[in-house]
Amino acid sequence: MSMIEFKDVNKFYGDFHALTDINLKVEAGETVVLIGPSGSGKSTLIRTINGLEPVQGGQLIVNGQDLANPKTDMNRTRKNVGMVFQHFNLYANKSVLENIMLAPRLVLHRDEAENKKVAMELLDRVGLVDQAEKSPAALSGGQQQRIAIARSLAMKPKALLFDEPTSALDPEMINGVLQIIQDIVSDSSMTTLVVTHEMGFAKKVADRVIFMDKGQILEDSPTKEFFANPKEPRAREFLSQIIR
């Protein structure tokens, strides 16, 4: 069963055609990595999946709901689709623990004792249980991104989206965050989409690689096949520039 399906989806910003005739299926439990040059539409594509960017034309079906239909309850969709952003988006006026507990409390109405238990387990999972009472500002960028991942997992989503999760980090912080994402992918049955420029990471975690350029999907291949022999000349050119 497809968790996510794009059918001839188009997205515009004014006159700019950001996504052109996107057709894509992502099965439940699958891990898909999106790569391509900056401005190719990767982030826009995954932001449409939880309704952060509305689409114009076509169908976008997520967990059985058509997001292109204006009658669709987007709050219901967002309960099941988590998002980890480039710049963490943590609440500066709340502790690390409160950042993780807030959405399950307000949206899921989770019992407070259970909510705290889940949050502490997730902090342990990302290696930051000793930082629970600190302010996000007291943490490094890598630690803040780990908290953002824990916060998304607290909702127990069916799908988790990562929008270039290491692009704002210092180089020495990147591997730790990527390892946590890799552990999550390997230990869960969640559907996962990751926009990244980290090709070594993509090789390790992805079932499939989507290559985008100029708002179009140019190639959609199994990971080993893509990196061994990309079909599209533009994909070959891209890989030649970033893999030395």
Q: Which of 145-159, 185-199, 224-238 has the lowest mean pLDDT?
A: 185-199
Mean pLDDT of 56-70: 92
- Look at residue 195 and give its three-state secondary structure: strand
Distance of CA 10 to the CA centre of its chain: 20
Over residues 13-31, mean pLDDT: 95
State pLDDT tens for residues 92-150.
999 999 999 999 999 999 999 999 999 999 999 999 999 999 999 999 999 999 999 99
Q: Are strands 31-35 and 191-195 parallel, antiparallel or unpaired?
A: parallel
pLDDT of residue 226: 96
pTM (two decimals): 0.94
Q: What are phi and psi of 180, to 5 degrees?
A: -65, -45
**What is the structure's pLDDT at 244?**
56
Q: How confident is the model at residue 168 (pLDDT cuts 50, 70, 90)?
A: confident
pLDDT at 14: 93
Tokens 């803040």 belong to residue:
144
The CB-side HSE value for 184 (13 A sphere, CA atoms) comes to 28
Contact criterion met (CB below 8 Å) for 141 and 170? yes
Q: Which two tokens stand for residue 42?
A: 């990767």
**In angstroms, rounded to a whole number, what is the distance separating the alpha carbons of residues 21 and 147?**
35
Q: What pLDDT does residue 32 have? A: 97
pLDDT band with cut points at 50, 70 and 90 for residue 88: confident
Residue 177's pLDDT is what? 93
pLDDT number for residue 89: 87
Residue 77 is given by DSSP the state H
For residue 136, the 8-state DSSP code is G
CATH number for the segment(s) 2-242: 3.40.50.300
- What pLDDT sits at residue 30? 95
Mean pLDDT across the stretch 142-168? 94
In sequence order, what are the beta bridge partners of 213?
216
d(CA 70, CA 97): 35
The distance of Cα 148 from the centroid of its chain, to the nearest Å, equals: 11
Q: At 197, is the secondary structure helix, strand, or coil?
A: coil
Q: Give the pLDDT of residue 118.
A: 97
> What's the confidence (pLDDT) of residue 87?
86
